[in-house]
Amino acid sequence: MDLETLLSYRWSAMTPEFIILGVVAVLSLLDLFLPRSFNRKLLGWLSFASIIAALITVFTLIGDTPVSILYDTFRLDSFAIAFKILLLIGAALAMLLAISYEPEEKLEEYRGEFYYLFLTALLGVMVMSSSGDLITLFVGLELLSISSYILVGMRKNYLPSNESAMKYVINGAIATAITLFGMSYVYGISGTTNIKEMAAALGAIDQQQHLFLLALAFLMIVVGLAFKISAVPFHMWAPDVYEGAPLPVTAFLSVVSKTAGFIIIIRIFIGVFFQVPDLSGNNSLILSLQNYLAVIAGATMLIGNIVALRQSNIKRMLAYSSIAHAGYLLVAVTAFSPFMIETLWFYLGAYLFMTLGVFAIIQVAAWKAKKVQINEFAGLYRSSPFLAVSLAILFLSLAGIPGTSGFIGKLNIFMGALSTEPTHYILASLLIATTVISYIYYFRVLAAVFFRQPQQETKISFSPPAVIVISLCVAVTVILGVFPNIAFDFLHGNFLSFNDFIQ
C-alpha cells in the first residue's frame, strides 16, 4: 500500500478505536515507569475518561454515510455505531466498578495491568462490531478473548480465580479452534475472506457438495459462538468463571462479552449465511437450519433457569441467569423476524443496565465476602434500604415484570417469534414458561433481602462510583420500562432500521 492510498482513507471512522488504542499505549508505559507508591486508581480514571471520549466520538459519527476503509475490512455503518454505543456504555460502567473494587487480597501490584487489559478487551469488541472481513473479525475476537483470560485470573492469590482462568482458557481455545475451522470452510468455498464478496460468491453456489460443506461450516461456527454467549451445551465454563473472576470482570463478561458474541452472530448469519441457498435451492440456508438453533435456544432457556434454582452463591446464580438470557436472545435469532436487530439491540441494552446494576450492588453489599452467598444478603433492607429497593427493581426487570425494561425486551422477542412464518409457538411458550421459573430464584433473593433477619450487623460503606452505577442503572431500567419509545425512536430516527447493514 503506497502513501497516497494510505492517506486517502477516511481515518476519522476509526477515531473511537484510536482513542482507546492510544490510551492503552499510554497506560502500559505509565504503569511500567511509575513508582509502586503511585496510586494506580488514577490510571483507572484516565481509562474511564478515554471510554467517555470514545463514546462522545461515536455519537458524532451518527448520521454519516457508511464508510469502508482498508479494502473493506473495517466498516462503519449504522449497525457498528449502534452497538458501539452499547459496548462503550457497558464498559464505562464496568470501569467505574473496577475503580472502586477492593478485594480482600490487594490488587495494587497488578491494578495498572487490569485497566489497560480491560481497554484492550474493549478494543477487540469495537473492532468486531465494524468488521467487514473474517480476518478482522477473528482478530477482534482474539483480542477480546486473550485479554479476558488474563483478567479472569487477575486475583493471583485467590485459588478459585486461578481455576476459573484455566477452565476459561481451555474451553475458549477449543471453541476458537472450532469457529476458525468453520470459517476456513467458508473461505475455501468462496475464495475470499471479505464478508461482502463472500455473500456474493456463496449466493451463486448450486453444487450440492458445496452446500453440504457450508451447512457443516455453519454448525461449527454456531458451536464456537455458542461458547462465547454461554449457550447450552457449551455453557459449563460460565458459572466457574463468574464465581472466580474479579467482580468487575464478571460484570464485563456478562454484558460486553455477551454483546460481542451476538455482534458476531449477526455479522456472520446475516452477512454470509442468509445469502446461501439451502440444498433444495428454494430457501436460505440459515432458515432451513432454524430447527437446530431452536433446540439450542430452548435448551439454554430451560437449563439456565432450572439449574439457577439450585444455586446458593449469587454469582453462580447470575451466571445461570445469564445463560437463560442468552436463550431468550437466541429465540430472536431463531425467529429471524424483520425487526430482529432492533429487538436484540434493545434487549442487550436493557440487560446491560440490569446486570451491571446488580453487580454494583453485590460489590457494595458483600465486598468483604470471598464467596458471595445469597444468605449474606439477608436483612439488607434494614442496613441499606437504597440497595435493597434498587436490587428489587433490577431483579424484577431481569424477571420480566411489567413496568421494567426487561418486560419490554421479552415482549419484543415474544412478538418476533409469533410474527414470522413458520410461527415459533413452542419457543414462545418456552419463553413464557422459563420466565415464570426465573421468578422463583429472583424472588428467593428478594425474600432474604426484605424478610429475613441479618446474620450479623455490618456497616455498608458506599463508594461514589458504585453509587453512580447503581442509580443510573435503576433509573434507565425504569425509564425504558415505562417509556420504551425513547430507545426505539432514537434507534429508528438515527439508524433507519439498519438499512445500510448489507449494502
10 Å Cβ neighbour count for 245? 27
245 and 116 within one domain: yes
pLDDT tens-digit series, residues 228-269: 889 988 888 889 888 888 888 899 989 988 899 999 998 888
92 and 124 within one domain: yes
Q: What is the pLDDT of residue 327?
A: 94
342 and 283 within one domain: no
Confidence of residue 286 (pLDDT cuts 50, 70, 90): confident
Full domain range(s) for residue 463: 291-503
345 and 254 within one domain: no
> For residue 277, what are the β-bridge partners?
284
353 and 259 within one domain: no
Residue 503 clears pLDDT 60, i.e. is over it: no
Residue 456 clears pLDDT 80, i.e. is over it: no
| The 3-state secondary structure of 193-220, one letter per residue | CEHHHHHHHHHCCCCHHHHHHHHHHHHH
Final residue of a structural domain among 222, 255, 288: 288
Q: Residue for cell digits 417509556?
A: 483
Angstrom distance (rounded) from CA 476 to CA 482: 10
Angstrom distance (rounded) from CA 264 to CA 222: 10
175 and 35 within one domain: yes
- Classify residue 501 by burial, with Cβ atoms within 10 Å: 0-12, 13-18, 19+: buried
Final residue of a structural domain among 288, 311, 335: 288
Determine contact, residues 336/290, Cβ cutoff 8 Å.
Answer: yes
208 and 192 within one domain: yes
344 and 422 within one domain: yes
pLDDT tens-digit series, residues 299-347: 999 999 999 999 888 989 999 999 999 999 999 999 888 888 899 999 9
The pTM of this model reads 0.93
pLDDT tens-digit series, residues 95-125: 999 888 876 656 655 677 888 899 999 999 9
Final residue of a structural domain among 234, 253, 288: 288
Q: How many domains does the chain have?
A: 2
Angstrom distance (rounded) from CA 124 to CA 208: 36
How many CA within 13 A on the CB side of residue 2? 2
The cell numbers describing 502, all together, are: 448489507
323 and 252 within one domain: no
29 and 156 within one domain: yes
102 and 4 within one domain: yes
317 and 276 within one domain: no
